[in-house]
Structure 1
Amino acid sequence: MFSIDDLKGVIPPIITPVDENEKVDEEGLKRVIDYVLEGGVHGIFVLGSNGEFYALDEASQKKAVEITVAHVGKRVPVYAGIGAITTSACIKTAQMAEAAGADAVTLLTPMFINPNEEEMLHHFKAVADAIKIPVILYNNPGKTTNNISSALLRKLAQIENIIGVKNTSLDFAQTIEYIRVTEDISSFKVLSGTDYYIYGTLAYGGVGCVAGTANVAPKLVVSIYEKYMAGDLKGAMEDQYKLIPLRNTYSYGSFPVVMKDCMNLLGLKVGHPIKPIDHCSDSRMNDIRKVLVNLDLIEPSI
């Protein structure tokens, strides 16, 4: 049974390998899961933004969750992403994830529409009330244009099975404020959703990160967390700095292709991005190779 103490560490939003028909590639997905688990991650987040959830139909989303739950086999918690626009669609996806065996769901703010704070409060509460497993909120205003304010977060954190938030805002002050306004709620935790801020989030009292770069360099990202928790602050900071060049590659292609391109370079055979997104240019792929070589993830080209 999942508990608040299980929400911690490094949780990669795993990429979703697809075949030539843009359907979930089961063997490819298993390879990704094995790779990040071997890297020591503390959870698996399926159907996140790096997992191209928005491009997968209901059947494909269900398949991705079921494969992930079965292959992880309770070794770490499985978090299933929900990114639908309407409350009813989010409830349907959340109930699917619960039935498929996910340990918790991660609920993104609606996109395209702009609900006010009262409407968002009712939306998140309705989804949380519709399932028995925990809910982690996902704030990503840069992508959805909707932002969870600290005042709204305070209210949401008091709903019984809403147990945490992943903040992907580049406004680090907001993460600090999230931690401050919920510090007296022991059943609620804050995670970094921006790979630049893993160390900083831990320093302010956060419990870990949902880090896209942990798809590619799981051992390095895990090292930031584990060194910090062991009191090796200098080592954790050094590893945070080592990670920055990989995070900087996000701008080398159209999101979220870069992590998928990186994993293909690692030899994991994860396929193509889902159209209209395409692979990075040849010149950018060369730049990415250099970053991976510098991280000792691939051998230099001869």
Structure 2
Amino acid sequence: MIRIDDAVITAQTLEGRLAGERQVEIGLGSKLTPSAQDLLRVQGVEIVRREAGGQAPPTATLAPAPAPAVPRAAGRQAFAGIFCPSIVLLDSHNRINHAEMERYINWLIEAGVHGLYPNGSTGEFARLSQEERQDVVRLVCEVNKGRVPVLTGASEANLRDVLKMAEYYASLGVDAIALMPPYYYEISTESLFEYFAEIAEESPLDILLCNIPQFTQELSIDLLERLLPYDLIFGTKDSSRDLPRLLNTMNCLRQQRPDYVVMTGCEELVFPSVLMGASGGTIATSGIVPEVIVELYEKAKSGDIERARELQYRILDLINLMLLGVNFPEGFKTGVAARGFDVGPARASSSASEQEYLIKLEAQINCVLADMGYPVQGPRACPATNLPPIVGR
């Protein structure tokens, strides 16, 4: 019999350690993930639960121990500031371009983003295979080397796949996962509660819930409030573009959990949301002008109202260009290309008119970047402006 005292025991934890054992002893406080339970069942290994030096119970069970009243927070870091929901760069064969991704990730970190957010909507997670999503996160963690927190999207169409991916991401050193409702089928609010509650009871990682009603089911504030007792659910990211809802979320949930993290997912709302107490944001434009978005957050946080207001207004032209006229997130990828990165081909099909628009969009984005004070090499299609640069001031 071998004994394993890890706080969270995954299939990866067990691999190579069973070596023909017929029993494994684990502490009462250890949590067995579903993949670990499945592996033990397949190999016919009996589980014995007891405290160190204690008497083994007469019978063993494969069910995980009951969750404590206040579940363990798995090494939670303070999630505050600007987390970049990075795009995925592809090569000419439509495969992940590892070398260019490494250059891009290093550039984002050196530009000052406070965290990385792979496999979000901007990262086209739904257009990647599970293996590709795992590859993206592995690459991010290897390049990051612990310099900034990593929040990764782990949304899947079913609960078991979410937990499987969470276990893999935990093995890479990811700090937390971001979850939206399971997509395609709409389910009741009560079923949504059970879905997130079960994940919170079994996940090896902390959880940030995502409200993005333009892509999937809305998470009501009532539902978020019901999930407050699950400590692993440490916050929410709101991409609804609805400032009153964001303010009501903070006001309601922080009365019960003052440390509850609330982030905005909308460029247009960084200044007002941070001014009203938001923790920060997952801001796609930080993948194009990270210096500007980070300064916007920091000035709003420090109370430099005039500078924060100036920066907030100056990014509106850029975000409006990238959101309109093309499939999401092709406008953002065009913006990243304008900063000197090879983004590769699109994963989604696009019409001839959209492809024509993207060519014009490049020149328009170059104009906005030049107005901001960035050096621009590509074509421009805009009249001269008298706007002062905002970069490097």
Whether these two folds match at TM > 0.5 is yes
Q: How does 1:89-168 map to 2 (within 5 A)?
A: 89-144=161-216, 146-168=217-239
Unaligned 5+ runs, structure 1: none
Instruction: Find the counterpart in structure 2 of residue 226 from structure 1.
Output: 298
Whether 1:268 aligns to 2:341 is yes
2:272 to 200, 203, 208: 200
Question: How much does 1:2 deviate?
Answer: 4.1
Q: How does 1:58-69 map to 2 (within 5 A)?
A: 58-69=130-141
**d(CA) in 2 for partners of 1:15 and 1:191?**
19
**d(CA) in 1 for partners of 2:228 and 2:98?**
36
Instruction: Find the counterpart in structure 2 of residue 86 from structure 1.
Output: 158
Three-state SS of the structure 2 residue aligned to 1:10 is strand
Unaligned 5+ runs, structure 2: 1-73, 381-393
Q: Deviation per CA, 1:196-234: give whole Å up to 9, x if none.
A: 101111122111010000000000000111112222122
Number of aligned residues: 300
**d(CA) in 2 for partners of 1:111 and 1:293?**
39
Whether 1:256 aligns to 2:359 is no
Distance 1:295 1:2, change over 3 A: farther
TM-score (normalizing by structure 1): 0.94
**d(CA) in 2 for partners of 1:211 and 1:271?**
22
Q: Deviation per CA, 1:7-60: give whole Å up to 9, x if none.
A: 000001000111223222111211221121122110000111111111111111
Instruction: Find the counterpart in structure 1 of residue 76 from structure 2.
Output: 3
Three-state SS of the structure 1 residue aligned to 2:153 is strand
Instruction: State the AA in 2 paired with 1:60.
Output: E
Assess if the C-alpha contact under 8 Å between 2:238 and 2:264 holds in 1. yes
RMSD of equivalent CA atoms: 1.7
**d(CA) in 2 for partners of 1:181 and 1:21?**
48
Assess if the C-alpha contact under 8 Å between 2:334 and 2:358 holds in 1. no
TM-score (normalizing by structure 2): 0.73
Assess if the C-alpha contact under 8 Å between 1:95 and 1:130 holds in 2. no
Instruction: State the AA in 1 paired with 2:190.
Output: E
Instruction: Find the counterpart in structure 1 of residue 372 from structure 2.
Output: 295
Assess if the C-alpha contact under 8 Å between 2:167 and 2:204 holds in 1. no
Instruction: State the AA in 2 paired with 1:147.
Output: E
By relative contact order (CA 8 Å, sep 6+), the higher-ranking structure is 1
Question: How much does 1:132 deviate?
Answer: 2.4
The structure with more radius of gyration: 2
Q: Percent identity?
A: 24
Instruction: Find the counterpart in structure 2 of residue 41 from structure 1.
Output: 113
**d(CA) in 1 for partners of 2:361 and 2:117?**
27
Instruction: Find the counterpart in structure 2 of residue 19 from structure 1.
Output: 91
**d(CA) in 2 for partners of 1:152 and 1:135?**
15
Higher helix share: 1
Assess if the C-alpha contact under 8 Å between 2:331 and 2:358 holds in 1. no
**d(CA) in 2 for partners of 1:22 and 1:98?**
27
1:182 to 242, 248, 253: 253
Assess if the C-alpha contact under 8 Å between 1:139 and 1:148 holds in 2. yes
Instruction: Find the counterpart in structure 2 of residue 284 from structure 1.
Output: 361
